[in-house]
Amino acid sequence: MKRTIYKKLVEWKESKLRKPLVLKGARQTGKTYILQVFGNNEFRKSHYINFQKDKNALKIFEIDLTPKNLINSIEFYLDTSINIEQDLVFFDEIQDSPRALTSLKYFCEEMLELAIVCAGSLLGVTQSDEPFPVGKISFLHLYPMSFEEFLLAVNDEKSVTVINSIGSLETIPEVVHDHLMKRTREYFITGGLPEVVKIYSLHRDNKFEALKKVREKQADLITAYISDFSKYSGKVRANEITAVFESIPAQLSKENKKFKASIALPGGRFSRLKSPVDWLTNAGLLIKVKISNSGEIPFSAFTSENRFKTYCFDIGILGALAGIPPKTIVLEDDLFATFKGAFCENYVAQEFICSGAGQLYSWASNTSEVEFIREIDGDVYPVEVKAGKSGKLKSLNVFAGKYKTARRIRISGRNLEFNDDALMNSYPMYLAYSFPRRIGS
């Protein structure tokens, strides 16, 4: 499956000051796969160690962390030879070997010419006594597949070509728009986890069977995520983390989507759940959107630690968590109408994160709320998300009347549309990922 992060991996390889790289991301986002493809394509040879599967490999790092001696030990252990300047060394599940993580500091200081990549969550690292190699490693984060990556995975390259060729002032032909909105609804069901998308792609000739298998796989993944909570945080704390994770659909079903501790844990207070929320955010399983009470920049100056919204890291997992039948999403059943708005917001949040937007912000006053506010090249853009093709934009207008905005942005089921008189840009759902680069076109 083609992933946009591949380009960043190549840039890392070609950089002059190439520190060891750690690729972070939630379980099943495709970290191992993309790094193996990268190693096979871009290097003479790739040398792979998985610390979770191969516990004997942990012994390599028990005593001596001198890079030269470690390479000798790895060569002996793998029965291979390592070319320092032409090969890649890949440590998988790095969180299971804190000593291997510490060794990256010495590789950075003494053997910078060797390319080292690691994959893992780093969730258990904070519980270790080993020093973390601050400043000695580079990080990249692999998220679930974006909508465009999903299209490539289901062999719909034509749609990707169309999306990338759309100019900012064009109207998209309705037949194309309808097709892309249909694809968006499919993505709402599968989400962007590669194994789930693969299952859907293999079985989509039988739509019923494909959707059934997709939900089964997502249920298995949710079980695996919850199992990880205990593994990396302890049993007592895991119960609170699970409560927060499973409460995401209920948090989003409220008209005011601000996180409420009592929904996750009856009688619970925010002070008790702050740590579980942060844990899930750091694990890549939760998108935390901070609520600002001002439209001025920096948005971070107008937030408080207990005012935020929680979105699921993957739209498909959200649907499985909420127990939404795939058929309901495909047919846009009335039973899905109430939750559809929250579903679309989660999708947009996910696309923004995948596109590299960084920390996301929302805006709220006593009477109005705008789903997202974005700062792009020094300009402020309020973004309202609408599930359908119509809907009032009262909050968007309130924000624009109160703060200086370059353009107002609506992301919805409508076709591409621009109103220069009202300074309004309307983007269809499938352009959420790329809307920032179209603003000035």
For residue 122, pLDDT over 80 is answered with no
So what's the pLDDT on residue 355?
95
Contact 89, 111 (CB under 8 A): no
User: Which distant-in-sequence residues (6+ apart) come within 8 Å of 215 by Cβ?
Assistant: 320, 326
Mean pLDDT of the chain: 93
Distance CA 194, CA 30 (A): 6
What domains appear along the chain, each with residue ranges and CATH number? 5-141 (3.40.50.300), 149-438 (no CATH)
State the chain's maximal CA–CA distance in angstroms. 70
Distance CA 169, CA 180 (A): 18
For 345-359, b/e burial (b = at least 16 CB within 10 A) is: bbbbbbbbbbbebee
Read off φ and ψ for residue 375, nearest 5 degrees.
-105, 120
Residue 418's pLDDT band, with cuts at 50, 70 and 90, is confident
Distance CA 233, CA 215 (A): 27
Contacts 24+ apart (CB under 8 A), 225-231: 225/26, 225/27, 225/285, 228/27, 228/121, 228/123, 228/283, 231/124
Distance CA 143, CA 354 (A): 6
Picking from 367, 366, 401, 356, the residue whose alpha carbon sits closest to that of residue 382 is 401
Tokens linked to 80? 């291979």
For residue 438, pLDDT over 90 is answered with no
pLDDT tens for 288-301 read 999 999 999 999 99
Residue 169's pLDDT band, with cuts at 50, 70 and 90, is low
pLDDT tens for 46-61 read 999 999 999 999 999 9
For residue 410, pLDDT over 70 is answered with yes
Q: How large is the average pLDDT for residues 119-129? A: 69
Contact 9, 34 (CB under 8 A): yes
So what's the pLDDT on residue 43?
98
